Amino acid sequence: MGKQLLKWIGRMVVFILLTVISQVGGVIYLLCLPFFKKLKASSHRIALFVVVYSICSLLVVPALAPNFGRVALPLSKTGDLRPHTWWTCWLNRHYVTPKVKTSMARVIKKFQAEFPDQQVTYLDANFPFWNGFPLLPHLSHDDGKKLDLAFIYKNKKTKSVLKGGARSLLGYGVCEIPRKGEKNQPAICKKQGRWMYNFTRKLALRGHPTSVEADAWRTGRLIGYIAKDPGFRRLFLEPHLVDRWQLRGYSKIVFHGCHAVRHDDHMHIEE
Ligand SMILES: [Zn+2]
């Protein structure tokens, strides 16, 4: 009896974990459970889940998402708007409203007229189904209207600009930290005991903090095009970067408060 209970608790934990990181993974896991009985080796069970999950994520979910007012962002890393990592897409974290997608296409067209061949890299967006289902750790990414973008980066020494991509494995956590004399909002939030504010710095796996830095000119121009686009309502960026990149003139760029995560490792935009 005890063994059986432990087995079900284990299954529950897997279901919750898969649901939290990919929304549909938990349900697909439940659907696979009856077939697991026929497979003895754990590796065969994992392989079955991965195959079924991948087919659903690639073919079924994108076909159903428009019924919930969401569309998938482009999957290709060679496109104008590209994911930083395929994990984002495999975990169904790349869905937005059609309005966000068309607004981004408009922004990129203007941006590329100024900087041909420069890609815009997206990080986490939203899950495909149901409003109010947050994409953790971003609590507000729950309605298809939110999108995180990477800054544009350049090599510190050679000054050559990277075509796309971000600064760490997941795209988050390597910050353009406040310099001496600049407003230090992270320190202010830390003083208020807001530990969540610095949470993303813990996600800075495999960062490249010494060789790469944000390209102020290109990133600032991209932010300007977003702020001027009628499809976007507001953009979150740390106050010291608003000053450093001379973006004070845009009323849509706002500070998000200490309850959110810091925004000097990426920018957050909203429809
Ligand atoms: Zn965000």
Tens digit of pLDDT at every position of the chain (271 positions): 688 899 899 999 999 999 999 999 999 999 999 898 888 888 999 999 999 999 999 999 999 999 999 999 999 999 999 999 999 999 999 999 999 999 999 999 999 999 998 999 999 999 999 999 989 888 899 999 999 999 999 998 899 999 998 888 888 888 888 999 998 888 888 888 777 777 777 666 655 557 889 999 999 999 999 999 999 999 999 999 999 999 999 999 998 888 888 899 999 999 9
Domain ranges of the chain: 2-66, 74-270
186 Cα to the center of ligand 1, angstroms: 17
β-partners of residue 234 are 270
Say if residues 153 and 193 touch (Cβ distance below 8 Å).
no
In the prediction, which pLDDT does 1 show? 62
Please answer whether residues 149 and 266 qualify as being in contact, where contact means their C-beta atoms are separated by less than 8 angstroms.
yes
Query: How far is ligand 1, taken at its centre, from the CA of residue 62, in Å?
Result: 22
Six token digits for residue 198: 């610095």
Q: What separation in Å is there between the alpha carbon of 202 and the centre of ligand 1?
A: 16
Which architecture does CATH list for 74-270?
2-Layer Sandwich (3.30)
Non-local CB neighbours of 171 within 8 Å, separated by 6+ positions: 84, 85, 121, 123, 148, 150, 266
Dist. CA 146 → ligand 1 center (Å): 6
Residue listed under structure tokens 């320190």: 187
Query: Quick one: which of 144, 147, 142 has its CA closest to 132?
Result: 142
59 to 23, 52, 55, 62, 209: CA distances (angstroms): 16, 11, 6, 6, 37
Beta-sheet pairing, 120-122 with 81-83? parallel
Cα-to-centroid distance, 147 and ligand 1 (Å): 6
3-state secondary structure of 163: coil
Secondary element (H or E) of residue 214: strand 212-214
Three-state DSSP class for 113?
helix
CA separation for the pair 270, 236 (Å, rounded) = 9
| Residue 141: CB atoms within 10 Å | 24
- Provide the pLDDT for residue 148: 97
- Tell me, in angstroms, the distance from the centre of ligand 1 to residue 268's CA: 4
